[in-house]
Amino acid sequence: MTDLPDYLFANPVWSALHSQHRHFAVAKGNACRYPAEVVPFASIAQSNPAAMQQLHALLTPEESVWFAADHYAEIPELIRHETLPCLQMTLPQTIVPPDSSIATVPLSCANANEMVALTTLAFPGFFRPRTCEMGSYFGVRSLSGELIAMGGERLKLDGFSEISAVCTHPSFRGQGFAARLMWEVVRKHRREGVRSFLHVSAANQNAIKLYVYLGFQVTRTVTLHRVSRNV
């Protein structure tokens, strides 16, 4: 385990929307969320029926969102579709990122369609048309110009930035692009004086093995719940 502060990392979406990402926040009482075109993430300050009612008020009838909570407070107005146990991991400051070994290109919202198409192959629904506004992204292109790998930032907290959207097109996997793109993001974080962290599904053993190999350490396990409006 690492020494990450509980007040930030026990509820990282809440922390991001009340600090570095406050300009994205759509809030009602003890519930808040990112706009749907940014990411499908919401948060509640405490897991109780009142906060869940406020979360319900932030949702449209046709959408679902994910939020983190150790305890799920049931209310009839919300349907819980699934849960997703995730590991929260961080990179110790003692780990020295290697020098860049591939040519990466900066990505921006002008590349949003390409970025959504690539990430949909790996984790459909999480990367949206405006996710690119959450931080910096880097990519690798094939000789023909196709975007074949990418990685970047998602949640931003005071002093910490999340590595996310790391993926490679199935036809180009096994060439080390994921690790090299992650180091590209880590080097950016080190220049900015922030610490790198990430979230990964507890079932994604291949990704976890890579992150451990790179030096990431488990902070805690968090449980995500996907909910939608019942009425």
Q: How many CB atoms lie within 10 A of CB 219?
A: 20
Complete domains list, the chain, with CATH:
6-87+223-229 (3.40.630.30), 89-219 (3.40.630.30)
Q: Which two tokens mark 199?
A: 């979230």
Q: CA 172 to CA 115: how far, in whole Å?
A: 16
Instruction: Compute the C-alpha angle 10/213/82, nearest 5°.
Output: 40
pLDDT band for position 6 (50/70/90)? confident
- pLDDT digits 0-9 by tens, 90-100: 999 999 999 87
pLDDT band for position 5 (50/70/90)? confident
Over residues 164-179, the mean pLDDT reads: 95
Instruction: Compute the C-alpha angle 37/39/44, nearest 5°.
Output: 120
Q: Strand, coil or helix: what is 139? A: strand
Spatial contact of 136 and 153, defined as CB atoms under 8 Å apart: yes
CA distances from 198 to 73, 76, 125 (A): 26, 33, 18
- pLDDT digits 0-9 by tens, 80-93: 999 999 999 999 99
Q: How large is the C-alpha radius of gyration of the chain? A: 18
Spatial contact of 158 and 21, defined as CB atoms under 8 Å apart: no
What is the reported pTM?
A: 0.94
Over residues 44-69, the mean pLDDT reads: 96
pLDDT above 90 (res 4): no
pLDDT band for position 1 (50/70/90)? very low
List phi, psi (to 5°) of 213. -60, -35
Spatial contact of 119 and 167, defined as CB atoms under 8 Å apart: yes
